[in-house]
Amino acid sequence: MSIVSQVILKADNELRYPSSGELQGIKSFLDSGLQRLKIAETLAENEKKIVERASQELFKKRPDFRAQGGNAAGQKQYNQCLRDFTWYLRLATYGVLAGDKEPIEKIGLIGVKEMYNSLGVPLAGMVESIRCLKEASLGLLSKEEADETAPYFDYIVQFMS
């Protein structure tokens, strides 16, 4: 839910107008809108590059994932891994666009631990893959944009840890 919706619903539930602090929060959200759109555009346009860099870094750190018996050993498993990278990149992008972590949780994190556990995918490996994805993504952004984006990747890492 966007900050605008949150403020309106809270004020309505309390039968009042939004406070000046709440209105300032909305103003700040709207003022940062162009930056959030630019970040989302950069991440979307560079998805393949980001996924490639992140996967190379992950498999350099964890060659056992690609080795015989590893979770990304076969071509099918490797492709599924890359598919998951794109999924988590999209989730972080949704968070940036919304300026909120709620879409990340509602769209993509409910039940994720249970799913990976049932598939025998080590959560520590998924956490490491999200960190690699974060670094590959932030490397394409300015410092200010990276500061805006990093918390959404961190939220995914925290949730999966």
**15-48 pLDDT tens trace:** 999 999 999 999 999 999 999 999 999 999 999 9
pLDDT for position 1 = 65
Domains in the chain: how many in total? 2
Co-location of 62 and 122 in the same domain: yes
Q: Domain check: are 25 and 89 in the same one?
A: no
Q: What is the mean pLDDT of each run of 10 residues along the chain (161 residues)?
A: 86 96 93 94 98 96 91 90 92 93 86 82 90 98 97 95 87
User: Do 25 and 78 share a domain, yes or no?
Assistant: no
Range of the structural domain that residue 27 is part of? 1-31
CA distances for 23 relative to 29, 90, 98, 148, angstroms:
10, 29, 17, 21
Which of 46, 47, 49 minimizes the C-alpha distance to 57? 49
Q: Quote the pLDDT of residue 161.
A: 87
Whether residues 52 and 104 fall in one domain = yes
Same domain, 96 and 26: no
Same-domain status, 54 and 126: yes
